[in-house]
Amino acid sequence: MGGVSSDSESLSQLLRKTQQVQAEVRTTRQHLRQKCQSMGSSWRDRKYQEFVRIIEECCSALQKVEVPLEQGKRGIQVLLHAISQYENVQMGSMSGSAGRNSGNVDNIVNTSSSSGNEIGFAPTLMGGRMMSLYGSPLDVYDSLIHKQGNNSHDMAGTCGLCQCANLLRMAGMSEVTENDVVEAAMQSSEGVQRILNQSAENPQDRGGILPSGCQEVLGRFGMETYLSPVEDYAGRTTTEISNLVRSGHGVMVGVNVERLWNNGQEGNHLISIISVSQDGNDFVISDTGWGSIGIVSASHLNTCLTGQPLVVTTNRIR
């Protein structure tokens, strides 16, 4: 067992380094494009166009570097998963069916076999912890809108609309922007338009939407969804969210930001759940208000629920 454990630790370190390099490459690419766009606000001659071309070539080269990095990362994850299964089997053999560790091993085996999806779980470094997470959440998050308020209608309270765009992106509509969903909402029913509150003085108060409005806006893009009532007793809703995410459905959740962020801010907020740990104890969230990816325990998420219904994609999107 000592040799296997050593190999597992070495692979975990290699996976961390690979993910760090991936993150640095993505950050560099995004920074280059953002810098180029900001310079374009005051520089618009032929030299700027040449500069844009050079930047795009650099970004394209960086993107090509990400391909072998991703392939390497997935290979390491496969090896780690195989070693983890081997270690669990060995632990089960040594402790016996009635041993004190057998309950943990049974839980791991049962969770793995009940996931029922092709994407599956893989070891991922999140928040300084190596976790078995569903569906490569770091890669998923890289394709999503990170921060709300990037639209041409001066609306900054667009958390729900951004998460609508993120569900569409997870379903393969990668070109959908925040502006697209904002304008879809502006063309929706009177009830949706009223909640948008377009005449509010503060941009933070403009762009709101309820779960029912999200359902309507997503329908304009051809995505079928349903609203699932929140039942916060005994963790029933978080169990439902876990089952939905691990079976490939998109899920949006209404939360209280005072409890979620714990920084003194107040209000209701919509986030997306983009992954779940194999044991169901933790969720990976996309939060466009905070502007980041994050990990929230199932017990803490349960305390943050506002009582608004979940927005769930009718079909699998991953």
Residue 168 and residue 306 share a domain: yes
Tell me the average pLDDT across 39-47. 79
Residue 185 falls inside a structural domain: yes
Residue 120 lies in a domain: no
**Are residues 47 and 191 both part of a single domain?**
no
Answer whether residue 124 is part of any domain: no
Residue 19 lies in a domain: yes
pLDDT for the residue 147: 96
Q: How many domains does the chain have?
A: 2
Domain containing residue 165: CATH number: 3.90.70.10
150 & 295 share domain: yes
Measured CA to CA, the distance from residue 213 to residue 29 in angstroms comes to 35
- Which amino acid is residue 76, in one-letter code? I
217 and 303 together in one domain: yes
Question: Domain containing 184: what range?
Answer: 140-313
The reply to whether 25 and 153 lie within a common domain is no
Task: Return the closest-CA partner of residue 227 out of 309, 313, 307.
Answer: 309
What is the model's pLDDT at position 89? 52
**pLDDT tens-digit series, residues 218-248:** 999 999 999 999 976 557 889 999 999 999 9
Q: Which is higher by pLDDT, 40 or 289? A: 289
The verdict on residue 78 lying in a domain is yes
If phi > 0 it is left, if psi is from -120 to 50 it is alpha, else beta; for residue 23 that is alpha
pLDDT of 2 above 60: no
Which of 114, 132, 163 is where one domain is finished?
Answer: 114
| Residues 172 and 271 grouped into a single domain | yes
**pLDDT over 90 at 50, yes or no:** no
CA atoms within 13 A on the CB side of 168: 24
Which residue is it, tokens 């599956």? Answer: 120
Q: Are residues 201 and 286 in the same domain?
A: yes
- Which pLDDT belongs to residue 84? 64
Tens digits of residue pLDDT in 89-147? 554 444 443 333 333 222 222 333 333 335 789 998 887 788 999 999 999 999 999 99
Residue 189 corresponds to which amino acid?
S
Inside any domain, residue 121: no
pLDDT tens digits, one per residue of 248-305 = 999 999 999 999 998 888 899 999 999 999 999 999 999 999 999 999 999 999 999 9
Contact (CB, 8 A) for 90 and 1: yes
Q: What's the pLDDT score for residue 116? A: 36
**Same domain for 162 and 207?**
yes
Question: Same domain, yes or no, for 257 and 171?
Answer: yes
Reported as a single tens digit per residue, the pLDDT across 158-176 is 999 999 999 999 999 989 9
Pair 156, 282 in one domain: yes
From 78, 99, 114, give the residue that closes a domain.
114
Q: Which pLDDT band, with edges at 50, 70 and 90, does 35 fall under?
A: confident
In a domain, 32, yes or no: yes
Q: Mark whether 202 and 73 lie in a shared domain.
A: no
pLDDT band at 68 (very low <50, low <70, confident <90, very high): confident
Q: Is the per-residue pLDDT at 200 higher than 80?
A: yes
* Same domain assignment for residues 38 and 159: no
For residue 85, name the pLDDT band (cuts at 50, 70, 90).
low
Q: How far is CA 45 from CA 32, 51, 158, in A?
A: 19, 10, 34
Helix (H, G, I), strand (E, B) or coil at 162: helix
Residue 279 lies in a domain: yes
pLDDT value for 37: 76
Mean pLDDT value across the chain: 83
Phi-psi region of 276 (alpha: psi -120 to 50; beta: other; left: phi over 0): beta
User: Is 52 a residue whose pLDDT tops 50?
Assistant: yes
